[in-house]
Amino acid sequence: MGQLLIRRLIQMLLIMLVVSALLFAIFDSDQFRRKVAVAELGGLGLATLSADDYHAWLDRRGLNQPFFVRYVAWLDQLGHGDFGQSIEKDVAVSTLLGESLSNTAVLAFFVFLIMVPVSLTLGVLAGMQEGSALDRIISFLAVFTTSIPQIATAALLTVILALGLGWVPTKSAMDDGWSFRALVLPLLTLLIYDIGYLVRMTRASMTEVMASHYIRTAVLKGLPYHRVILRHALRNALIVPVTLIFLELNGVLSQVVVVEVFFQYRGFGRMLFDAANFGDIQVLQAGTLVAVCVAVASQGLSDVAYGLINPRVRVA
Amino acid sequence: MSSRAAPGGRRFQRPLTRTETWVTLLALIWLPLVAYVMFRPALGPAAPYLLLPAGPAVIVTYIMAVRRWHESRIALIGVTLVGFWLLVAVTVPYLPIADPNKPLVPLVPPATIRQGMLFVLGSDVRGRDILSRTLWGCQRVLVWGITATAVAYGVGAGFGLVGGYLGGWWDELVSFVGNIFLSFPVMVLFILVLDVLGPSGFNIILAVTCSSAPIIMRIVRGLALDARSRDYIQAAQTRGEHPLWIMLVELLPNVRGPLIVDACLRLGYTTVAITTLTFLGLGLQPPDPDWGLMIKEAAPAALLWKYSYMLIVPSLAVSSLILGFNFTADGLREMSQRD
């Protein structure tokens, strides 16, 4: 187990290094230097600058150095816990990241809190007897909810719950303090898709287990049905869904972009989107790195969890 | 290179069950649509007549699909939904509806007559007919969506075959590059690619390829690994066929089953991606209609119950198309498991 962990950690560090170097290489273009200049000096300020002054400014900002020199400097900075300064909002990137990440973490916490028990139960119920009425209803609903894109879910939920019934506010900017009511719409939007997805996966895993020989043996030797399900089937049927739950972290990180932009929730996805729109490269870079870090970590966790709960796999 | 391989293949002709018909029909629909949507200025006066043969082709394809898949009800529902939108996409220039970009009367509720014109689904903030925008929007979404998926499939299947069939260093390299792309959350990757390259339809194709091709590669690689040790591949190797020929002509057609199901699902994902990107302002550019754009424009305006139709119509449209793709995929998988 320890060896697996170390291998995953090394792999993760390698991927992070490659990705961050890639990011630096991408942002090492003239177009992006100009974007930084526009953001810092203003469009007019840049237009009045002569070519020589522009280069002098680049020198002063250290943007003229080759990208690997800046990359090493940035890595050193990162080692001291400094992500740099946001150009657009004039605060430290780490402050911005901390705020938006904690907002998104709140959202993600509630998503997982509701998603995991609900979808595992529904998936197991559907997979217990393939082709039964319950299975057909749950499966149909799951295909249905995973087919509606999240912008459509967001729009329709706004229409029904906020405009029609007036139960919740339409936007979740939370300008005057945190409120759970404002969290309902983004939460539901994420849940509707994610529950459907996890139900489908759990059902598939459960039907496979139910068709196996050892379950048939358990039924034929006269065990009570609930005992077959709870003691024999569940343990194997839940292996795949549990590992998928960790991978969902990656999915949620990607889904929050559209949900947070739609509902104007001040989270990680919105920060990333704004940074891309304003050419706030420091924030975009740091945000991407964090996203990749979380994604790779969740993949690693999923592997470790798989090794822990699946007795048939003993990873070297 | 392939001249050596060709005679071997000629001798061994595979009885493809009407594949040629399917390919011809799909090409008849898809190629004019691509030309019409992506290269309209280059077409000149021929543009209005271009889509005429595609209409009958859609109907024939639909009938063929229904006759072949009639045993699965869920696939039939899916095919009907997709067929409806395809038919709309190829016939929309000939339908008697308003110009989708022309401001007429702002904020008309659905099913009312204003200035001697019936607004079936109402009009938006700038007075454009929503019915017309919805129908035209389907054309853009379908064309870019199908093209992006096809490109992603080409790239992904290519690398997957190389990794799975050739193995060794090729496999290590291809898998490592794929893992790097897979370590990005999808939306982050989209934002990054489109921010660097600028928003446009062709860059959407690139972004979708970056995110989908590694997954397709993994699937194809797995299938190729499994097929590599089969007898028919070893027979082909013994006949001295070129690896390229073996990969494309022997291996790929034999693993097409799971790939077709996955392609249907992926068409749905790509449609989601395209509407989402347009909603975020990173994808296709206004003023031409597109469902994501319609939701984006309606979101700040529709803050009252009576204007909510502006949000409902495009949401239902995009959901029904994706539902169509997903139902088709589900039905196909169900049928493939049955035999």
List beta partners, residue B118: B113
Helix axes A2-26, A67-79, angle to 10 degrees: 130
DSSP helix/strand/coil, A310: coil
> Which among A239, A207, A236, A216 is positioned nearest to A136, based on CA atoms?
A207
Using CB atoms, pick whichever of A147, A163, A261 lies closest to residue B305. Answer: A163
Burial B243-253 (b: 16+ CB within 10 A, else e): bebbbbbbbbe
Per cent of chain A over pLDDT 90 is 16
Find the closest chain A residue to B194 by CA distance: A276
DSSP helix/strand/coil, B69: coil
Q: Quote the pLDDT of residue B11.
A: 43
On whether the pTM is more than 0.90, the answer is: no
CA distance linking residue B163 with residue B172, whole number of Å:
8
Shortest distance between the Cα of B300 and any Cα of chain A, in A, equals 10
DSSP helix/strand/coil, A146: helix
> Which among B323, B223, B322, B327 is positioned nearest to B276, based on CA atoms?
B322
Question: What is the per-residue pLDDT across A178-233, written as a single tens digit (0 to 9) for each?
Answer: 788 888 899 999 999 999 999 999 998 998 888 889 888 988 988 888 888 888 88
What phi and psi, each to the nearest 5 degrees, are found at residue A130?
Answer: -65, 130
> Which among B150, B61, B69 is positioned nearest to B332, based on CA atoms?
B69
Rg (CA), chain B: 22
- Beta carbons of B279 and A291 less than 8 Å apart: no
Shortest distance between the Cα of B274 and any Cα of chain A, in A, equals 11
The interface residues of chain A toward chain B in range 231-270, judged by CB-CB distance below 8 A, are 250-251, 253-255, 257-258, 261-262, 269
Report which secondary-structure segment, H or E, holds B112.
strand B112-114
Shortest distance between the Cα of A160 and any Cα of chain B, in A, equals 9
- Beta carbons of A143 and B327 less than 8 Å apart: yes
- Beta carbons of A149 and B302 less than 8 Å apart: no
Contact of B280 with chain A, judged by CB distance below 8 Å, is answered with yes
For B21, other C-beta atoms within 10 Å of its C-beta total 13
Residue type, B48: P
The number of C-beta contacts closer than 8 angstroms across A and B is 129
Shortest distance between the Cα of B232 and any Cα of chain A, in A, equals 30
Contact of A147 with chain B, judged by CB distance below 8 Å, is answered with yes
- Beta carbons of A155 and B312 less than 8 Å apart: yes
Residue type, A30: D
Determine which of A20, A100, A137, A151 to mutate to test the interface with B (most B C-beta atoms within 10 Å). Answer: A151
What phi and psi, each to the nearest 5 degrees, are found at residue B118?
Answer: -90, 120
DSSP helix/strand/coil, B183: coil
Tell me how far the alpha carbon of residue A290 is from its chain's centroid.
11
Using CB atoms, pick whichever of B180, B281, B325 lies closest to residue A18. Answer: B180
> Which among A285, A108, A91 is positioned nearest to B188, based on CA atoms?
A285
pLDDT in tens, chain B (339 residues): 334 444 444 444 444 456 778 888 888 888 888 888 888 777 777 777 888 888 888 998 899 888 888 888 888 999 999 999 999 998 888 888 877 877 777 777 777 777 777 777 877 777 788 888 899 989 889 999 999 999 999 999 999 999 888 888 888 888 888 888 888 888 888 888 888 888 888 899 999 999 999 999 999 998 888 888 888 888 888 888 888 888 888 888 888 888 888 888 899 999 999 899 888 888 787 778 888 888 888 888 777 777 888 888 999 999 999 999 999 998 888 888 776
- Beta carbons of A287 and B188 less than 8 Å apart: yes
What are the DSSP calls for B220-289, one per residue? HHHHHHHHHTSHHHHHHHHTT--HHHIIIIIIHHHTHHHHHHHHHHHHHHHHHHHHHHHHHTSSSPSSS-
As a residue count, chain B comes to 339
Contacts of A258 in chain B (CB under 8 A): 187, 276, 279-280
Q: Are A49 and A41 in contact (CB under 8 A)?
A: yes
- Beta carbons of B326 and A147 less than 8 Å apart: yes
* Secondary structure in 3-state letters for B291-323: HHHHHHHHHHHCCCHHHCHHHHHHHHHHHHHHH
Q: Are B74 and B327 in contact (CB under 8 A)?
A: yes
Find the Cα–Cα–Cα–Cα dihedral B266, A299, A19, A276, rounded to 10°: 60
> Which among B328, B318, B271 is positioned nearest to B298, based on CA atoms?
B318
Q: Are B201 and B263 in contact (CB under 8 A)?
A: no
Q: Are B90 and B54 in contact (CB under 8 A)?
A: yes
Contact of B330 with chain A, judged by CB distance below 8 Å, is answered with yes
Question: What is the per-residue pLDDT across A270-286, written as a single tens digit (0 to 9) for each?
Answer: 998 888 887 777 788 88
- Beta carbons of A295 and B319 less than 8 Å apart: no
Contact of B196 with chain A, judged by CB distance below 8 Å, is answered with yes
Using CB atoms, pick whichever of A147, A269, A287 lies closest to residue B268. Answer: A147
Q: Quote the pLDDT of residue B232.
A: 87
List beta partners, residue B123: B129
Using CB atoms, pick whichever of A146, A170, A284 lies closest to residue B303. Answer: A170
CA distance linking residue A264 with residue A266, whole number of Å:
6
Contacts of A253 in chain B (CB under 8 A): 185, 187-188
What ipTM, to 2 d.p.? 0.82
Q: Which is more confidently placed, A1 or A158?
A: A158
- Beta carbons of B191 and A251 less than 8 Å apart: no
Contact of B274 with chain A, judged by CB distance below 8 Å, is answered with no
Q: Quote the pLDDT of residue A111.
A: 93
**What region does B185 belong to: left with phi over 0, alpha with psi -120 to 50, or beta?**
beta
N- to C-terminal Cα separation, chain A = 8
Q: How far is CA A180 from CA A168, A185, B133, in A?
A: 9, 10, 37
- Beta carbons of B271 and A149 less than 8 Å apart: yes
Contact of B173 with chain A, judged by CB distance below 8 Å, is answered with no
> Which among A7, A305, B309, B197 is positioned nearest to B189, based on CA atoms?
B197
Q: Quote the pLDDT of residue B213.
A: 93
Strand locations in chain A (E)? none
Q: Quote the pLDDT of residue A88.
A: 66
